[in-house]
Amino acid sequence: MGVGSTFISFAGQTKAQSSRLLDLRNSMAELQRQMATQKRSDTFSGLGSDAGTIQKLRTDTNDIQRYMKNIDRISIRTQMMSDAMTEAVKIGREVMNSMRMQTREGEVEMGAINVVASENLQFLQDLMNTNYQGAYVFAGNDVNNAPVEELSILNNNIQSEMNNWLAGMQTPNQFLNNVNALSGTDLSYSNSLQSAGDVYIKIDTNVEINYTVKADDNSFKELMRGIAMAANLKQPDPAVDIATDSEFYQIYDEIITKIADAVDNLDKENFSLASKNSLMGNIEARHVKDVNLLKTLLSKTEDVDTAETIVKLQAVQSQLTASYEATKVVSQMMLINFL
């Protein structure tokens, strides 16, 4: 064989061997990447027919995790609301019990009742102005404004009606009707609360919860009116007042009834909110199971089998080592033949 033929044969074999070595090195690099990332491919195109399935699994997982974050965020808020409503019920019962303890003989210790009611009215204001992470929880979607402002407005309005009754300018029924007519800013609520909208949270594909409880809901308003009347009620002084003790007890009993009804209604509203909290908890528990299942399916679809990949990597390493040795031997033989 001539020198030219030998050179051509050597060049051909070298080219083929180089191509094989390149393929083996690429295979090794890919297997090493799989071992490092534990993923079959770093691009969707490399996943073949499974790409669409993986995208759908990831989308579903992200959606559910977003619902779970919504639940975690809102459940803290609704729990704070429920706790505040529980305290408000206790306030109402405390004022109501302080009034029920009084006898109907002689003067009622209104001074003590006024103090208890006044202090609890301030506490009720604090509860209705409960704030979580800069948002007022009883303000609907008007979260940046405290729902209850200065109580002096409410107290002044109650005192004005009270003085008119004591002076004989209105009957007990007129007094009660006028107090019941107080609303909005006359009850010390913020100007923007009345127009505030509801608040909702989406916790599943087809489940959206309205978790609104506003400070001007009827149960809160009635509790405000009742406790404010108890804080400002005066027993008539026969020496200066035209109103009678009989009228006083009529108002006194109406206050107790108003507070009792408000407490019962607020309890019911709190139960409704607690039911929504329970629903969120149940749905979140199901979400946890669904996410774990989706992650398992995603892992089976896009993750590599570590043991299988190690075997393939070892095989490629062996082939690569053998190819290097073969290339070395062929090169040496070609050189001898050439010489």
Indicate the pTM of the whole model: 0.76
Residue ranges of the alpha helices (H) in the chain?
3-37, 51-100, 110-128, 151-166, 172-181, 218-232, 245-302, 306-338
Roughly what angle, to the nearest 10 degrees, separates helices 218-232 and 110-128?
150
Res 27: pLDDT: 58
What would the two tokens of residue 322 be? 């053998």
pLDDT at 283 over 70: yes
Q: Which residue has the tokens 């490092």?
A: 36
Residue 207 DSSP class: E
Summarised one tens digit per residue, pLDDT across range 29-42 is 555 555 555 565 55
The pairing of strands 135-136 and 131-132 is antiparallel
CA distance 4 to 307: 49
Where is pLDDT greater, at 147 or 30?
147
Stretch 134-155: mean pLDDT? 96
Asked whether the beta carbons of 57 and 297 are under 8 A apart, the reply is yes
Whether 278 and 75 have beta carbons less than 8 Å apart is answered as: no
| Neighbouring-strand partners of residue 136 | 131
Residue 338 has pLDDT above 80, yes or no: no
What is the average per-residue pLDDT within 189-216? Answer: 95
User: Could you report the per-residue pLDDT of 256-266, keeping only the tens digit for each?
Assistant: 999 999 999 99
Residue written as token pair 């053998």: 322
DSSP summary character for residue 208: E
